[in-house]
Structure formats: structure tokens, C-alpha cells
Amino acid sequence: MAQVPFAPEVFTWPAESPQLIGARCGSCAAVTFPAQDACPRCGKLEMARHLLPREGTLWTWTTQEFLPKA
Ligand SMILES: [Zn+2]
């Protein structure tokens, strides 16, 4: 069975070393995840795709108890 990413805009999978896809502001360098069109810090529309590091600190998490949309 072929594996299909449920949200290809969220991470670079399939890949040998998948990464989360965020955005970085070209004005103030704020980084967001998931990617956003407008910067939450300065409000400018200078966000560009930014691959997040594969290691870091997990600050919070949640679970969803339902299947994703088909
Ligand atoms: Zn900004």
C-alpha cells in the first residue's frame, strides 16, 4: 500500500530526513509553525517557507481522537 501524507504542507514527508515546514518573517525573523502568510509579531506579509530543525524542545502537544478528512 502506498503511503500518502495527510497534510503535505505541514512536513517534508516522504523524505529520508523529514522536517516540519514553518515560515520565517523577512522583516523581524519571527518563525511560525504551521506556516502563516502574515507575521504574528510585526504583521508584515514577508513570510517565507522555513524548514524547522529536526531536534528541539517540545513545549506542548495535543491529540485528536478522530480520523482526518478523507
Ligand atoms: Zn515579522
Give 15 Cα–ligand 1 centroid separation in angstroms: 30
pLDDT of amino acid 4: 81
18 CA to centre of ligand 1 in angstroms: 26
Distance from residue 32's CA to the centre of ligand 1 (Å)? 10
HSE on the CB side for 66, CA within 13 Å?
3
CA of 5 to the centre of ligand 1 (A): 30
Asked if the model's pLDDT at residue 68 lies above 80, the reply is no
pLDDT in tens, 5-24: 878 899 998 889 999 999 99
27-58 tens-digit pLDDT: 999 999 999 999 999 999 999 999 999 999 98
Burial label for 52, CB within 10 Å (0-12, 13-18, 19+), is middle
